[in-house]
Structure 1
Amino acid sequence: MSRPPLGATLEDGLNRRLVPFLRKRGWRPTTITYTGYGSPEKLRVLARALLTEDTGRTAADAGATEHELDEAQEAERGWRSFVTTPVAHLPIEVEIAGRTYPTRADRDGYLDLLVPDHGLTPGWHDVAVRAQGAAPATARVLVIGPETRFAVVSDIDDTVMVTRVPRPLVAAWNTFLRHTSSRQAVPGMAELFGHVQETRPGTPVLYLSTGAWNVVPALERFFRRTGLPSGPMLMTDWGPTNSGWFRSGQEHKRMSLRRLLIDFPEITWLLVGDDGQHDPDIYSELAREHPDRVRAIAIRELSAGEHVLSHGTPQAMDGGRASTDGGRIVQDEQVPVVRAPDGFELWRRLEPYLTSS
């Protein structure tokens, strides 16, 4: 058997020593739940087991409303989301529709449980997640019904939220130092998704990002504050893996998109991203391979200044290919591509393709 790389070995060793030390100082397991998704045939439940300091009294215990909790948490610096200690292999029970499914967290504390024949009807549901030694938690899940034929998958960074993530120093400032409430929404993106859902009622929106799972609670608050629709978020872990020091963000997106195509074989997708990273190439690749599964591609164009801050040059990473309205990915003109600097103009260019049969 091959040995895990040095990065994963060091991380595991640090956690093994840190967990008992923090437990002696009164830290206790807690469960962070993420929004899951699925079909009537199978459901994906997502969560993470972490050690957190036991303060003995939370804002919820004090009777704070959800809005007051959001305001208190928004005032925190972003780095607090990354000061965490996972609890590896912790026993966890998930209860769905009266049935209990025992499982364990993985080496990084993550729970990614696929439940067949779960018994939930299409729509939003709450499922119970009980980790050993932690207070019970509730995970939201979206069951997409068999009648759904159209859905949206969208990037987050610099697509719906201005973060300039590719540039390391700016990313560090936005992620670790700035208050989460200072993050800005890309103009018109909430309106774009609203128009899509009005045009095609019942359209689910899923988010696919190379960002870390740690920031999901902050992103959910950001979405509520800016009017972006709720939806499952498919993030990644920045730490070492069993194959290297860092995970590949591009491969994460490619694999997640292909999994969605497999999980929902009747759905065609609107792919939304930006030209500051690799979204145009990844989306184009998928459209060439599966032109019947991609209804359209919408790319938010960064300004020249944003491109310089993003990756050091004033041009898009794809060289500005298909930068005009009405561009196509494949020769038989099955997949339209639209580009614009904000959500308002993107919708104006997308609308004809989404309202036609």
Structure 2
Amino acid sequence: MATPTPHPSQRPHLAAVVEDHFYAAAGWLLRRAGWHPRLETYRGYGTPDQVRVLARVLLSRPRPAAPDLEAIRAGRRGFRHFLTVPVPHRRVRLRVGSHTSVVTSDRAGYIDVELPTGVPLPAGWQSAVLTVLDEPDPWEAEASIRVLDEHTRFGVISDMDDTTMVTAVPRPLLAAWNTFVRHSSGRRAVPGMPELYRTLQRAHPEDGFFYLSTGAWNTANTLRAFLSRHDYPRGPLLLTDWGPTLTGWFRSGPAHKEASLEHLMSWFPHVRWLLIGDDGQHDPQIYAKAVDRRPDRVHAVAIRQLTGGQQVLAGNIPDGGTPDADLEVRPVPTVYGRDGAELTRRLATVPGVLDG
């Protein structure tokens, strides 16, 4: 999703060809068994005049409507979220504001489109209506869209893994257990982080929260349920597809984050962002690049520090220095803390973050 289309003369990567053939065979068998296309929608975002709509077309077995199907899917063990068969190249009608378009899902079933709204949408949460076409019983679903207008001056872009939730991503085996085996309801919040985010929301009631992760779109329901269960502010998830691309075996996680940051900053030039992440992977470097590119768009940076043991397991060698020394050379305020409580205390010293 959101991966640039290669030049038409470029030959697709072997992994993508194998994946496409596998899903084509699986889809043929499931359609013969009575399965039908359904829509899984994700939270999008936009301005009053243009929005980005995110969804995926998947095959689903026929079943009676459940009272809370999303909650049921969110409660599954991790690996079950990856047992999906996409429907590629399926036409979907999309209505937002006064504008109606027919779009087509990509090779992995994703819909990621930017559309005009026709009439200006008010700020806040709006919705787009999507309908799968060319089916006897078309599936219809709504996709929520967070609209920020020119009056929004402050926003939050947050990492997910080991920033909002304890996932131990630096420890590969435990990360795999958390992702594929552990029950999604067992995820724990990083201490003090939900309280910090709610404090930010109270200080900036009209701001936008965006959650940026290298996690797969298959886990979107789990992550939404986690954020809701711990009372994090509602906001769009910006995830990625773990499958092969037309150019390689895997997508680049840092490249996904860098592109997402640049996209948000270009869409909302009137917003200054608080960037929140952790130092277990690449967040400090990614955020530093964003600051170098657009220092006028970043209000502050907050980094949750992992312990020394976690840093070693992540492949980092602690040098014994103090990260706060970087504050003298950074063009924007940068604070560090072990948890949400410490970050809250340090952000309180940065004007305009917690005091509105």
Structures share fold, TM-score greater than 0.5: yes
Q: Is the 8 A contact 1:7 1:244 kept in 2?
A: yes
Q: Does 1:336 align with 2:333?
A: yes
Opposite residue 11 of structure 1, the aligned amino acid is: E
Name whichever of 20-29 and 128-137 sits farther off.
128-137
Structure 2 distance, partners of 1:156, 1:190, is 12
Between the aligned residues of both structures, percent identity stands at 45
Matches for 1:165-314 after TM superposition, within 5 Å: 165-309=169-313, 311-313=314-316
Residue 46 of structure 1: CA displacement?
Answer: 0.3
Partner of 1:84: 84
The alignment partner of 1:126 has SS state of strand
Q: Is the 8 A contact 1:325 1:337 kept in 2?
A: no
Opposite residue 131 of structure 1, the aligned amino acid is: V
Partner of 1:11: 19
Change (3 A) 1:13 1:195: same
Residue 167 of structure 1: CA displacement?
Answer: 3.1
RMSD value over aligned CA atoms?
A: 2.0
Change (3 A) 1:53 1:273: same
Matches for 1:44-55 after TM superposition, within 5 Å: 44-54=52-62
Partner of 1:139: 143
Partner of 1:36: 44
Q: Is the 8 A contact 2:300 2:332 kept in 1?
A: yes
Q: Is the 8 A contact 2:99 2:116 kept in 1?
A: no
Deviations 1:46-85 (A, max 9, x none): 000011222x22422xxx6x9xx63x44542111110111
Residue 329 of structure 1: CA displacement?
Answer: 4.8
Structure 1 distance, partners of 2:186, 2:333, is 35
Q: Is the 8 A contact 2:98 2:117 kept in 1?
A: no
Name whichever of 193-202 and 321-330 sits farther off.
321-330
Structure 2 gaps of 5+ residues are: 1-8
Q: Is the 8 A contact 2:304 2:343 kept in 1?
A: yes
Partner of 1:122: 123
Structure 1 distance, partners of 2:114, 2:75, is 35
Residue 194 of structure 1: CA displacement?
Answer: 1.3
Partner of 1:108: 108
Q: Is the 8 A contact 1:50 1:84 kept in 2?
A: yes
Residue 234 of structure 1: CA displacement?
Answer: 0.8
Q: Is the 8 A contact 1:199 1:354 kept in 2?
A: no
Name the count of aligned residue pairs: 342
Residue 168 of structure 1: CA displacement?
Answer: 2.8
Change (3 A) 1:206 1:305: same
Deviations 1:267-297 (A, max 9, x none): 1110000000000011011112221111100
Structure 2 distance, partners of 1:329, 1:37, is 34
Structure 1 gaps of 5+ residues are: none
Q: What TM-score does the superposition give when structure 2 sets the normalisation length?
A: 0.91
Structure 2 distance, partners of 1:118, 1:329, is 45
Residue 328 of structure 1: CA displacement?
Answer: 4.4
Q: What TM-score does the superposition give when structure 1 sets the normalisation length?
A: 0.90
